[in-house]
Structure 1
Amino acid sequence: MRSEYRAILRNAMISPQKVHVLVDAIKGKPVEKALDILRFMPQKSAKILQKIVHSAVANADNKDKVDVDRLIVANVTADQGATLKRFSARARGRGTRILKRTAHITVTLADKAS
């Protein structure tokens, strides 16, 4: 039986498109290696993903007391969240819309297949 452990961050103030850049870098990797990869990436989404992976590891440790060294990053998804609509001043008294996108990020960890 393969156990899965999740951590979810809702309404993160970052576009899902920016999170997708790093998703392929950590998907399928052992947790320790994924955290090392994220630690040295310069993107804002790397720090956010690092916190979510830490949270998923803590969830696994508290729930079933699993060996953390045997966990891999099974799946990472970044879905569109609510969009904040703002206006910015433009020339000649006009205003243009600015869409501040948010993301729902889910990290799923699983035991290594024996």
Structure 2
Amino acid sequence: MSFRASYKYARVSPRKVRPVADMVRGQFADDALDLLRFQTQRGARMLEKLIRSAIGNAQDPEQSPGHSVQLKRLFIAEVRVDGGPMFKRIRPRARGMAHQIKKRMSHLHVVLEEM
């Protein structure tokens, strides 16, 4: 049985979140939360919140009727960090030129499965 959660339009670059996602991929959910709690990156807070949401989805009786889920047996089967849309801004530069600044967004997806 798999349980999903997603965080769309996260205001952090996918490039900054991917190393944190690689760190928790394949871990048990409670171990991953312990790892993320001590990371200083802003993306770690977002992934921590997302994993908690997926655990909440696993505990929801509507998602798994007649099937009780043990939290110790949940592991992170998939963590995906996709690029989202970009805010495009323009900064003035020397000699009348302009450079574009891209403020990137991410779509984060987590899938938990029971061992």
Normalised to the residue count of structure 1, the TM-score between the two structures is 0.90
Gap regions ≥5 residues in structure 1 = none
For the residue of structure 1 that corresponds to 2:87, the secondary structure is strand
Alignment partner, residue 26 of structure 2: 28
Alignment partner, residue 15 of structure 2: 17
Alignment of 1:79-98 (within 5 A): 79-98=82-101
Distance 1:41 1:86 in 2: 30
Residue of structure 2 aligned with 1:42, choices 17, 32, 40: 40
Gap regions ≥5 residues in structure 2 = none
For the residue of structure 1 that corresponds to 2:19, the secondary structure is helix
Alpha-carbon offset, residue 70 of structure 1:
1.1
State the Cα deviation string for residues 75-102 of structure 1 (Å, max 9, x = none): 1000111111111232344321100111
Distance 2:94 2:35 in 1: 44
Moved more, 78-87 or 63-72: 63-72
Distance 2:92 2:59 in 1: 50
Residue of structure 2 aligned with 1:105, choices 104, 108, 111: 108
For the residue of structure 2 that corresponds to 1:28, the secondary structure is coil
For the residue of structure 1 that corresponds to 2:69, the secondary structure is coil
Distance 1:42 1:88 in 2: 30
Q: How many residues align structurally?
A: 110
Q: CA RMSD in A?
A: 1.2
How many percent of aligned residue pairs carry the same amino acid?
38
The runs of at least 4 consecutive aligned structure 1 residues that moved more than 6 Å come to none
